[in-house]
Structure 1
Amino acid sequence: MAITFKVVEEIGVLSELPSGWQKELNLVSWNERDPKYDLRDWNADHEKMRKGITLTTDELAQLRDILNGMEL
């Protein structure tokens, strides 16, 4: 079974590798489902991706709260 995806919104780039791949936070719809926040490496034209994580709005808010509580 093929996985389908659509990048609904490009939110931001966290880093870029010399190869041109970028670690990005995007809003992505997987298999025509409701979009989730997605953090992973993408190639320049968003045709290929590496392993990453998806987060619901509630999970992203919880992560934000955890990060805000950390001393970096």
Structure 2
Amino acid sequence: MGSIDYERIKQIGTISESSRGWTKQLNLISWNGRSPKFDLRDWAPDNTKMGKGMTLTLDELKALKELLNQMHELNETV
């Protein structure tokens, strides 16, 4: 498999950090010169290595937000 090129367009935020310094981040990333997508994955402390993750389009991110909002509403009623 060839190399994967990426460009971090914007670092949106960090969700968590492990005891080894790896951080789970939400970023806007262009993979192989394509249109940027939202990307959620673990990154090494120096950002040179990454773990497995997932990419989402803006519509998918909005759908995820709606699901999380519904979970929040359910938790308030239980």
**TM-score class, shorter:** over 0.9
- Which residue number in structure 2 is paired with residue 14 of structure 1? 15
Query: What residue ranges of structure 1 are gaps of 5+ in the alignment?
Result: none
Superimposed CA distance per residue, residues 5-55 of structure 1 (whole angstroms, 9 cap, x where no aligned partner): 111100010000111100000001111111100000001222110000000
RMSD of equivalent CA atoms: 0.9
The alignment covers a number of residue pairs equal to 72
Kindly indicate which of the two structures has a greater share of residues assigned to helix: 2
Query: What residue ranges of structure 2 are gaps of 5+ in the alignment?
Result: none
What TM-score results when the alignment is normalised by the length of structure 1? 0.94
Distance in 2 between residues matched to 1:50 and 1:16, nearest whole Å? 13
- Which residue number in structure 2 is paired with residue 70 of structure 1? 71
- Which residue number in structure 2 is paired with residue 42 of structure 1? 43
* Letter of the structure 1 residue corresponding to residue 33 of structure 2: E
Larger radius of gyration: 2
Identity value in percent: 51
What TM-score results when the alignment is normalised by the length of structure 2? 0.87
* Letter of the structure 2 residue corresponding to residue 46 of structure 1: N
TM-superposed deviation, 1:67:
0.5
